[in-house]
Every structure is written in structure tokens, then in C-alpha cells.
Amino acid sequence: MVDHSREHLLRKDSIWIQTGREGQELDAGSATGKSLGVFTSGGDSQGMNSAVRAVVRMGTFLGCKVYYIKEGYQGMVDGGDLITEASWASSSGIMQKGGTVIGSARCADFRQRAGRLKAAKNLIDKNITNLVVIGGDGSLTGANLFRQEWMSLLDELKETGKITDEQRRNCSHINIVGMVGSIDNDFCGTDMTIGTDSALHRIIESVDSISTTASSHQRAFVLEVMGRHCGYLALVAALATEADWVLIPECPPDHGWEKTLCKKLSAEREMGLRLNIVIVAEGAIDIDGNPITANMVKDLITNELKYDTRVTVLGHVQRGGKPTAFDRILGARMGAEAVLALMDAKPDTPACVVSLDGNQTVRVPLLECVERTKSVQEAMNKKNFQEAVRLRGKSFQNNLATYLRLSKLRPPKVMCDPTGQVCSSGKKLAVMNIGAPACGANAAVRSFVRFALTKGYTVLGIHDSFDGLLYGDALCKVKPIGWTDVHGWTCQGGSLLGTKKCTAARYGLDKVAEKLKEHDISGLLIIGGFEAYHSALQMAEARSKYDAFCIPMVVIPCTISNNVPGTDFSLGADTALNEIADICDRIKQSATGTKRRVFIVEVMGGYCGYLATMAGLAGGADAAYIYEDPFNITNLRDDVIHLKNKIIQLGVQRGLILRNENANANYTTDFIHQMFSEEGKGSFTCRKNVLGHMQQGGVPSPFDRNYGTKMASKAVDYMITKVEENTTEDGKIKSCTKDSAVLLGMCRRQLLFTPLEELREITDFEKRLPKQQWWLSLVRPLLRIMTKHSNETYRADAILTNVDFEDDDNA
């Protein structure tokens, strides 16, 4: 169950922190005197450095003394120089690096009590009674055992004269908070572990690259990906790349799978496809528990089908490289929350894991998570694979069900023919894009088309938005989309349907209604940005005048600006964030060897500061200026002085300032560049960059591909339910209730359908913004704290919950 009682505000100077502590307030300097240690253990993963940085800076912000424990548990056991005090400056410049800069090592000594006794002594010598553990299930299990033994370890150290009575009293208990750093995403209790998104990027980049050479030579490729006994990486990669087949340990193929696989691959070649991709998880097994390797699959295809087949084992390249924007932000959010969880902890507080559920940070009992994770493997050992899939959680189940439905060769014959023109229901759904193009839109269209066809509904693709609907008859701009028409769409950016930034009212609602009626459309999916939401709202509000609008309408937000109400995330924003973070990394790197340089970077977003703020957090920016957080010349002056002090006193060599394109009409990018250049003379030089439309380009990220796919899947189910509920006796659709014109969005822990009528009240139509945005009160203060500002307001995000998220309907 979820504990919603966390409304106690704790004060530190002008800093307010919301925590789970019952009825207590912290005065200024309340954390002074406390010490905490942070270490990474087990296999490394991208994003660990962001988490370490956040722990150091949030701990310093609260007045704690923070220590690096280098080389994981081995450093804790060996002590000495491996446990060193961290500083703000020592955590600078590490966020964009892969791996872990404080090292990680397997430690046999810590598995023995004698090793844990040494570790306890080393921590007590530094007065460390709070630990942040960043690692996998083995590392967290070891930490929990250490905590359980702590009292007996103290007793033994006291009896042998290795610690004093005072040390015994001061270190009477130890608090432990874990963060899961693992590319495998095999830990129950979180939707995403730190490093998983980066590993998926490596895999999908590899598959996309292999696909071009495979198509050139009509080859089949078998790719082996990591994950140990968890098939998450293989499954999500298959979903994001439209792989022909995937083999994972949780859902092994039935007997005779070899013949089924060959039959499918052969049929695809007969349909004109020039390549085949099979993804194999390294722990893949058959229904009897026997291993299935990439080479076995390669030999099968070669021998049975005579295809030129190659094997690619991606190996440790999946762990390498710099972290994605998602993993950087995840590490920062989790690291900050971990410190607050330690500050909240009492002697009897169970060790917890800070994790992610949807877009909600949660604190989950560590022991529960470990036991649940072990139970997955136990279920697989007993060949109870259905239970193993259930234990992986709702997100894993949704991914598997979605892949199985989308990867079929064609829709069921009883429902629809492959062209999509003859379907059993006799009804037509339509899909269109409105607004600026954004990555993920094509994945959503593909998913919508295929899921609708499997349910017996024809799908009309409306090309070029309202232009195609109203004026495209001669060019066939409104036409059925077949099953194979959308093959390969998932990995492509932009809008293959075509799009335009205009609302329905500008074309005339009467004309739009006439065309919808002419094409006999029973339900409409609109994928796009603010114009898409506004157009759907205009049509919904005109239902009393035009019966053609009395159909189910669903909006899927798709814009890099993330400025649509009713959702925490819009399709396309993740890809844009990665583009910005990557460009900022390269911009900063360009100044390597140049002393003290500050970059002023302008990003897109309209009046919405989401991109500037989140990219600032992901890129380690010193400031991010946005419209929603008004600033003046005094703020700019203070930021210049603050940056100069960091450069002169802490030895920082490079600075990064982000500005949203519409942050302020007077304080333009040019103005800020000139001001920083003038005021920074003698301390640093300044350069300006306007990123422009490259933020809209690129291929969709794994997140946007899968988010779009699953959003469209839910939209189909919802729309068809409404169609069937509102079909009259004469077969007409009469759907005028407010819940039949909705926007589908991620709201904290759930995917929700929100009536457009309700969203009107929370929308600023002049500036094209939601009136409330979740990241303003959470990420903005965190960004400032990470850059050494001490006069900020920060509210903890996490809620207390258990490991079972089965009631949550997240993506």
C-alpha cells in the first residue's frame, strides 16, 4: 500500500524539504555532524557517476560530511586511502562519463564475517553511520546483511579493544539506502534501473546499423544481448527494432519452435523483406530449460533455410559509453532522494531501495525487493514461466504482450485482410499527426494500425494533417493502411504520415466535420503537440453543432517541447533531450585545453522550459533560464558572480548556461552572452550556440519507440470500447460524453485518459502551457543545488510503498 502521509516540511535556512519524518522539523544545520559514505559495487553501469555526484552534492548541501568508498566493498574492507572525503569540486565533470569513477570490484572478503568486521572498523573510524549502496541485487543483499549484523560487529570490536565506548555509542546503528545500478533491469521493485536505458541505446544503435548491411546482402542476423537470467534488454530491444523473433528466459518457446521460426522467416522473405533479425538473451532457454545460444539459432537458419546468417555478440559494448539523458536524470533524482531517505531514517527504519515507478520516485523495503527478485529465478527453475513473467512486474508483462501481438506476420484472417480494407467490424478508425514532427510518432502509428487490424477495424491514414483531410481527395491523402504498410516505421524519426502546425478551427470546423462524415470515421486518434490537443478540444466542444464530432477521440501528446497538459512526458521529448545532452557534451569537450570557457546555449521548447531544465540537469549546466521561472538583471549578475567564484576558487574550467528560446523577450541569448562575456573578463571567455532544429532530428530513442508503441496500444483498446458502447441500433456512432474525447498521458505512476474538457481549466492557451508542471517544483531546485546554490527550495519526491506495483497501470 502507498503511504500518502508525507506532508511534513523540514526547514534549513530558506530551504524546505518534504520528507517522511513524522511531525519533526529540522533547523538550520541539522544535518551537520552526520557522515555518509557512497560506493558502487558489482557490475558497472552508465549513470552511476550521476548518482554519486548527486549523493555528494545533496549531502554537502545538507551539511553532511560525505565520503567516497572506492572499489566497492573491497575498499570498505581495506580502508585507508580507499575511503576519502568527497567535496563538491571532486564530483565535478563526472556526470557524462560512463562506468563509475570511484571504481567497483567483486569482493570475496566481504562475504566472510572477518571481512565485514574490518569494514565496520573502517567505517567507525570515519564516523560513517549512513551508507548509499549503488549496485545490483547481490550488492544490496550484502548491505542488508551488514546492517543486520551491525550490533554484533560493534560488540566484537568493543570486546577486542578496537573501538572505544564513545565510538560504540556514536555508531550504535547504521542506516542503508540502496539504488539499483545494473544494465540488466532484473531487480524487482523498480521500472528502470540505472544504466538500462543507456544499454538499450547501445543495442538499438547496433541493430539499426546491422539492419542496413543485412538488407543490402539479404542476410539474417542473430544478435546476443546481455541480461543474465533476465530478458528485459532483449525484449525491449526487439520491440523497439521490430525484430522478427526474440528468445528470453522468462518466456521460452514451445516444442517445435525451430520449425515455427523458420516458417516465419521464410514467409517474410516471400513477402519481399530483405533481412531478418533475431535477438537472443544470453540466458535464453527452451521450454525444458535447455540453453539456446545465438550460434544454435544461426546454425538452424543456415541449415534449414540456406540463408546467409551472421552472429553478433554485443558483449560489454552494452555497458560502455556515456550515459543517456534519462540515466543521468534518473541517477540525479535517485541520488538526491537517497540522501533524504538516510536523513529520515531512525534506528528501526528498514533498509530501503530508492526506485522508479512510472514517473514517481518511491522508497521500497530492500529485503522485499531482494526476496521478490530471487523468487523470479525460483519460478523459472520450477519451469513456472507464467509466474516468472508476473513477478517481473506490470511493465515487463505489457512489453511481452505488446511484442507478441505486433510481431505477427499478418492480422487474424477472421478479423481483417492484410491490406486493411476488408475488416470484420465494418467500421473505420482514423489516425493523423498535427503539429511539429517529433520522434516516436511513427511508432505510435504503426502500433495503432496493427492493433486496430487485429480487432477487425479498418484504419484510415490521414496524410498531411487537415490539408490532406480537406483537400487531398485527388491525391488519395485519406486511405486505408495495411499491416505491412507500417513495417519499419518504429525506427524512423519525423512523421511519415505528414503533419502541419494548424488547428481544426483555422480550417473551419464545419469543413472538418463534413469530411469526417464523408469518410464514415468511427473513431479518431490524433498524435501531436499543443495543436493536436487544441484541435481535439475544439472538435469536442463543437459536438452540439456537428454530429461528425460525436465519435471517440484520443490525443497522444507528441512534441519535443513537452508542453501539453495532462501528461508528465510527451513523445519525442526524450529523443530531443538526448540530442541536446550529446551536443552539450561535445560543446564542452571542444574547449578541452582552453582555459576557463563558458558556453551559452539556446534550446527550443516555445514558452515551456522543460527541455532547458532537464537538459541542464543532464548536462551539468550552471543555470537554465526559462519563462516559467522569471529572472531579472540581479539574478543574472548573481549567476555571473557565482560562476566566477566556482571557476576561481574551485578550479572549474568550463561552464554551461542554457536558455529556453522564449525565456524572456529582453534578456535574449545575445544579451546573456554579451553580459557574461563582459562580466567574466579576466576569469573566463564566452561562446554562444543556438541548437535549432537538430533537436527535432535523429532517430527515436528506445524510450520514445516503446512509449509510442504502448500508448497507441492503450488508445486502440480505449477507443474501440467507446465505439462499441456507443453504437446505436442503426450502426451509427453517437459518443458525446466528456470521457469519449480524451488525452492519454503518463501522470506520475499511471497512464491515464483525461477528458479534454477537464484539461481546458489547467491550460494557458496564450503561452501554450499547462498551468502546473511537475518538474518545476522538483527538478528546478535540484538543478540549482547540484550547481552549488544554497538558497533553494527542494521537496523530496518519493512516496513510501511496497514492491508490488500490480495495481499500477504504468508503461
Distance (Å, whole) CA 526 – CA 609 = 24
CA atoms of 413 and 6, how far apart (whole Å): 54
| C-alpha cell of residue 158 | 568493543
What is the SS3 assignment for 21? coil
Please report, as a single letter, which amino acid is at residue 89.
A
Full strand arrangement of the beta sheet holding 478-480: 478-480, 458-462, 428-434, 521-528, 553-557, 741-747, 750-755
HEC string of 106-143? CCCHHHCHHHHHHHHHHHHHCCCCEEEEEECHHHHHHH
Specify the 3-state DSSP secondary structure of 600: strand
Chain CA centroid to CA 143, Å: 27
C-alpha cell at position 217: 546482402
Residue 10 to residue 17: CA distance in whole angstroms: 5
Cite the active site residues.
Answer: 184
CA distance 480 to 77: 66
- The rounded distance, in Å, linking the Cα atoms of 658 and 514 is 46
Angle, in degrees to the nearest 10, between helices 610-619 and 573-589 = 50
Residues 6+ apart with CB under 8 A from 608: 561, 562, 563, 626, 627, 628, 660, 768, 769, 773
| Contact between 193 and 181 (Cβ < 8 Å) | yes
For residues 625 and 599, what is the distance between their CA atoms, to the nearest angstrom?
A: 13
| Backbone CA torsion sign across 250, 254, 255, 256 | negative
**In angstroms, what CA-CA distances link 202 with 233, 579, 656?**
11, 15, 27
Residue at grid coordinates 541485487: 137
Strands, DSSP E only, in 734-811? 741-747, 750-755, 763-764, 769-770, 799-800
In our burial notation (b when 16+ CB lie closer than 10 A, e otherwise), range 7-20 reads ebebebeebebbbb
Q: Is 63 exposed, middle or buried (CB count within 10 Å of its CB: 0-12, 13-18, 19+)?
A: middle
C-alpha cell at 763: 491550460
Residue 179 DSSP SS3: strand
Contact 368, 803 (CB under 8 A): yes
Beta bridge partners of 691: none
In angstroms, the Cα distances linking 515 to 472, 519, 734 are: 11, 6, 17
DSSP string for residues in 384-439: -HHHHHHHH-HHHHHHHHHHHHHTSSS--TTTB-TTSSSBTT--EEEEEEESS--T
- For the chain, the straight-line distance linking the first and the last C-alpha, in angstroms and rounded, comes to 20
The phi and psi torsions of 681 (rounded to 5 degrees) equal -55, 135
Q: Which residues, at least 6 apart from 766, have a Cβ–Cβ distance to it below 8 Å? A: none
Number of neighbouring beta carbons within 10 Å of residue 802: 15
Distance CA 14, CA 269 (A): 66
In sequence order, the 6+-apart residues with CB closer than 8 A to the CB of 761 are none
